[in-house]
Amino acid sequence: MTSAQKRNDDNRTVACATRLMILCAALFACLIQASESAEPIYEGKKLSAWLVEAYNPGDQQEHAREAIRQMGTNALPMLIKVLQTPDRNQAVSAFRVLGATATSAVPAVLNLLTNDIIAQEAVYALVQIGPQASLSISYGLTNQNSKIRLGSAMAFSLMASEGKLAKSAVPLLLNAIHDHDTNVCSYASHALRRIDPEAADKAGVKQLLER
């Protein structure tokens, strides 16, 4: 395969990944609209009430977290909405409770990275969803929007720092370390060095960080 053919294949892969992320985000937006008048209820109490109890320490905290687990993916549309409000930390906490169950929300969370006001919490939400969502988060590394690429790289870096990222993420990071945005490159490089120092050395991460 010639270098030109390889570039074409890479471009097609990036284009497909971008289209897939846009489609998933659009579908999730439809779910959010459909759920606006149907807030999930468990044991006669709305999700918004459970979010408050799950976030604040107290006797009901663990029971509230279990209520969120029971709601499962039905809670996701509203969590995306709450993530865009001043109560966004409640949503981040709920994403931690749901973990990998919230993987289908990743495209919608990635889109929130373009909003500077809530970008930090969106990154934390991705981290709380966890490494099982690595493939979904990796689509953000190839997005044309640098804010989405940066937020995705930050999420991988944080997961790596917490020992949550497996070596299976290495291929996802190897391209990101050459991103033309130096911040994306830096976060991806730090993540790669933490989870696979040997692969990082072979890829010249040390030299990249010293530039």
Domain boundaries, the chain: 1-101, 130-211
Amino acid 35: pLDDT: 46
Amino acid 132: pLDDT: 83
Mean pLDDT in consecutive groups of 10 residues from the start of the chain, 211 residues? 52 55 56 61 96 96 98 97 97 97 95 95 94 87 93 92 82 90 93 91 84 70
Amino acid 65: pLDDT: 98
Q: pTM to 2 decimals? A: 0.78
Amino acid 13: pLDDT: 53
Residue 84 CB neighbours (<10 A): 15
Stretch (H or E) spanning 74? none
Cβ atoms of 75 and 40 closer than 8 Å: yes
Q: Residue 92: CB partners within 8 Å, gap ≥ 6?
A: 83, 121, 124, 125, 128
Amino acid 20: pLDDT: 58
Looking from the CA of 190 toward its CB, the CA atoms found within 13 Å total: 17
Q: Which residue has the tokens 């809530």?
A: 118
The CATH architecture assigned to 130-211 reads: Alpha Horseshoe (1.25)
Residue 91 CB neighbours (<10 A): 29
The three-point CA angle 164-67-130 to 5° equals: 15
Amino acid 8: pLDDT: 52
Distance CA 49, CA 43 (A): 11
Distance CA 171, CA 87 (A): 36
Cβ atoms of 64 and 90 closer than 8 Å: no
Residue 141 CB neighbours (<10 A): 24
